[in-house]
Amino acid sequence: MKPVTMPATDSAPPIHPAAVKPPRNSTKKCPARPERVTDSTFQQVAQSTEATATRCGRMLYEGFPHAMRRLSIRHWLPPVFFCLLLASLASAQTAAYQPLPHSTSLLASQTTSLGAAPQNVRLDHMLLLLQPSPAQSTALQTFLAEVNNSASPAFHHWLTPAQFGQQFGPSSDTVAALTTWLTGQGLTVDAVAQGHQWIEISGTVATVEQAFRTRIESYRTGTDTRYANAVPLSAPANLAPSIAGLVSISGIEATTPATPPQASTAAITPAQLVSAYNLAPLYARGLNGTGESIAIAARAPVDATSLAAFRAAHSLPAAPAATVLNGAAPASFSNQATLAAAWAGAIAPQASIRVIVSPGTASTDGIDLSAAYAVDHDLAPILLVDAAACESSITSQHAAFYTSLFAQAAAEGITVIVPTGNAGANCSASGTGVNAIAATPYNVAVGGSNFTSSSTESAWNQNGLAGSGGASTITPAPSWQTAAGDPASDPDGSVTRHRYLPDIALAAGNLAACAGRVCNSAQSGTAASAAIFAGIMALVDQANASPEGNAAPVLYTLAQRQQGVFHDIVTGNTTLNGNGYDATTGYDLATGLGSLDAFAFVEHFASAQATGTQQSVITLSPSYQNVSPGAQVTISATVAAATGSGPVPTGTVTFYDNFTGSPVQVGSPQQLSSGQVSATLGTLAAGSHSITGVYSGDSNYTTDTSSPVTVLSTKFSTSLSVSSSTLSPAIGSTITAIATIQSSQTIAPTGSISFVLDGAVAGTATLNGSGPNYTATLQIPITTSGSHTLAASYNGDNNYSSATSNPITLTTGKGSTVTTLSALPATYTAGSPETFTAVISAASPTSGTSPSFTGTVTFYDGATALGSAIALINNQAVLSKVTLDSTLKSHTITAVYSGDDNWLTSTSAPLVLTVQSASSAVTLTASSSVVLAGSPVTLTASVNEAASSSTTTATTTAAPTGTVVFYDGTNILGSATLATSQGLSTAQLVTTNLSGGNHSLTAAYLGDTNFSAATSSPVTVTVQSYSVTPSATSLTLAPGQSGVITYTVAATGGLNSAVQFGCDAPANTGTTCTFNPTTVSGAGTTTLTITTTGASTTSSNARDPLHRKGGEVFLGMLLCLTPLGWRGNRRLRGRMLSLFLLAAIGLAGLGCSTTKISSSLPPSSTVTPPGSLQFTITTAVTSGSQTTTQKSYLTVNVT
């Protein structure tokens, strides 16, 4: 029968190695584990039924021995039919999935693959980007237009994240289906966005390949290994329309456009920007960021120490940045986040800064995770995303992620601010480009400027860095991006205009920074520029009492309508490596619209949201009101067409109070109703208030400001009284003075009270408390006696007039004193002069007071005056160099203070001086100067009167008594009591506690009534000793084995006698132990041998039953492989059956290996038993008549 030949085809994938049987002469004993066949491989196999059948046929045909090729095709029909069935199933499975467009990673085309990614590599916190329907996308654009139109009823009616998801994201059912599918594929769903814009997932390379029917490979990028899909992603056909793709798999991080702190002596400070950007008038109006918050997307937290030092160095209020952790806390901090927090807070010093920290993973940039978290949790009305990524270096899904995320932010009222970058027009090595993250229509893109003087800026270009700008290649030009000077077409000549960057440019070069607590550094980069604008936007939000959402369109409206908002930058360029743009008049791609006059920007921001062109007029009433402070003042506003006819104006009116000289917004903007609105201005401070109203404008009318109306508020009269904690204070004491203002008004008096004592201000205190009694309290020391007057004075505030209380009288008597006496020298020697000092102080001193004393002090020895009275100087009197009566053994000295007009007399405590004792001498001797360790040494101390001692008061005929303490260096050996015999006082101590070596011994006499303490000269005693150190403290032996331990002898104290070694083995254990040699003289070593007794062994071979079973299994496999249909070829069938029988007989006895089995003889009485045995080691040494021994132990573990 003619054999079937299977033709080769280019369309069939290569046969998997696991499907081909190894050749007969293969040396491999056991078959290897087949390679993994991934779902992506199966997808390739199942590309067509025909290709699959061809491949399957080739696998069967080439997988058998050459002789099997003689079979006819009817013998192959059943297996081929089976392969076709598998191919159909695979094709059906593949058809259930739908490829996701543009989902292949850029690394696959830009970098050489290193091969398949390890299957266990973690790809954590990937963002699966979802996409809305076309109708939802259209509805979102309509909503954004309305929510930013001041004439629309939807104006500033921002959405929550959940509301956004309900209106503009995939349905909850779709999201639930997606999460069910993802978890069913083995992925972990970490989070589902409230806005239904993304799902955060984690898994291994294997689970991602399985879920998305793709292949992930490893790629080298610089020094990093990254992972990316080499083939498109696929998803179930019913879910694919709702999936845009994975935002990122490679985890390549965007750059952060900020330099690290570098030493600088001329850094730009916040105070300089306050002047350059005209921020002072805003601060004067109370616009400082109070109540506002700024979120910063980051990978790591700020350096809290550097931030605190920065705020302190520039006199900003202490305000640490709050950290919002989205994942594990990184160990390091972020220079970018620290810079952003410092400068956003410098411009809006009272705004709260919140840093969202998301560590990056192998698949996702932490900046992506932090930005997504901030928007989906609506953490702050201002979001700063300090990151730059070239449009050419990220996938379309990554760019779409930021576009959809920032669109959601705009719907929530979040102003997103992104730096353009620090690379000028160069975005990558391949040429020009822009930062994709900054190129969406829903964010403000901030470039960089550099100050050439205190008020003049140029395009930032320093030290190889420059503000980035140019035209996007992805985002079309938004309808609002129109300004004088903007390009008519893209720089590359493209007919279609695109989104242009930057929108504005702010200071980027050499901005003050701190490194730790040292603030002599500077940082540069557009990250700082973006942070400065974030601070300005916080002032806008505060001024308008509302989040503002996407601020980019407002910038261009202001540029067209309002002069003075922008500082046009017309010098400098951003050229680096031959690519860049010049700063020119009007809009340019180097600096955008220019930098800002912050006051004008905040002042006119709301008006830019009006689109009308007709003139309007706003009128306030009444024109004059006279009210009391705290009264509720109502102002009405009417807005009409300036021509007298036209549509009824809509929009809002904002009221301002010019009481402080600068307009301060009063309340929030009020919505017009039929062209009118009334507002209650609240409580006004006393004085004249000039009130104006500003109309926002609408789709028909322009904005307008009213003429001022006057509200006069008259101050309340003030009732002030004063009291004291006592009217009879003691001199030197402190009184509590209390001033009270009584008022029943709803406005509380503020300010401070001055307390006046005897016509002079004694201090001030702040008013506090609640009505009707407001008090201020001050502690006042009373330093003189007599009569005093106390009064209180109040200077008033904006609501209360000034006042002075009626005085009260205080009467003070004389104060008690204490006299303290001292002598120098403190120890008295007969015949030697003494100096006495008396110090006078108050008996009941008051903290914080320093009373002054006058008068005299007289010194006495007993009842005898020691000279005349001595006048006080600085509260003390000194009697110098007085020689007392040397015939007296004891003297009692006192000092008597005379008192003065304010202070009473006092006498010191007596000071007793006694003549000093006679000196003593101690002599120490030892029974032997050289001894063996452990031998007794007798120490003898003799004490007598020193030859040079004065006998003025000591009883020299008496013998010393008391205690002697014996020392070894500084260690006490013991003590003994002196015994007197024949006029000689001695004490003895016997000790055996001296260690080997030289010892310096002394004896210290503690003294008694007649003799002073003394210490002997040292006596040296040498103690001879030795130490024995084993090389190990235990052995582990099997029965029948021997082991050795080396013992090392070290001698101390000059010992040179022989050390004898002995060993005792545990009884009845079949063990022995011997030393060789048994003696060691001086220093040296000896070896201990431990011998155990074991049993003899035999061995036999046994076939591993598992390997026998392997032969049987293999025989079964051979029989199962017999092709179907052999009934038609009897001869061949007989030959093959014989062949299989021979193979079965041979294989039944085969095994992959044999194992040696050991058996032990029954243990005899001499076999060393298993367990832990203890051997006793004894050493001894003899020197003269002295002998000392040591014992140690050795553990032998018998296994």
Go through the domains of the chain in sequence order and give each one's CATH number. Answer: 17-95 (no CATH), 262-607 (3.40.50.200), 614-713 (2.60.40.10), 719-812 (2.60.40.10), 817-914 (2.60.40.10), 920-1024 (2.60.40.10), 1031-1095+1167-1198 (2.60.40.2310)
**636 phi, psi to nearest 5 deg:** -110, 145
What gap in Å lies between CA 479 and CA 955, rounded to an integer? 116
What gap in Å lies between CA 543 and CA 564, rounded to an integer? 19
What gap in Å lies between CA 47 and CA 40, rounded to an integer? 11
% of the chain at pLDDT higher than 90:
60
Q: What is the mean pLDDT of residues 909-922?
A: 85
| pLDDT tens per residue, range 526-564 | 999 999 999 999 999 999 889 999 999 999 999 988 788
Q: What is the mean pLDDT of residues 1023-1030?
A: 91
Cα 1028 to chain centroid distance, Å, stands at 54
Q: What is the mean pLDDT of residues 688-717?
A: 88
- Using 50, 70 and 90 to split pLDDT, how confident is the model at 79? low
Taking 50 as the threshold, does the pLDDT of residue 89 lie above it?
A: no
Question: Contact at 8 Å (CB) between 551 and 444?
Answer: yes
Q: What is the mean pLDDT of residues 314-326?
A: 94
**230 phi, psi to nearest 5 deg:** -90, -15
Lowest mean pLDDT among 717-721, 726-730, 1006-1010, 1065-1069: 1006-1010
The model's pTM is 0.55
- The pLDDT of residue 157 is 95
Max intra-chain CA distance, the chain: 152
| pLDDT tens per residue, range 424-479 | 998 765 578 999 999 999 999 999 999 998 889 999 999 999 999 999 999 999 99
**CB-based burial of residue 653 (10 Å sphere; 0-12 exposed, 13-18 middle, 19+ buried)?**
buried
The DSSP secondary-structure symbol of 832 reads: -
- The pLDDT of residue 18 is 35
- The pLDDT of residue 78 is 57
What gap in Å lies between CA 65 and CA 8, rounded to an integer? 19
- The pLDDT of residue 145 is 92
In order of 345, 601, 847, the CA distances from 543 in angstroms are: 17, 11, 49
Taking 70 as the threshold, does the pLDDT of residue 128 lie above it?
A: yes
Average pLDDT, the chain: 84
243-246 and 504-507 strand pairing: unpaired
Question: Contact at 8 Å (CB) between 534 and 355?
Answer: no
- The residue type at 1018: P
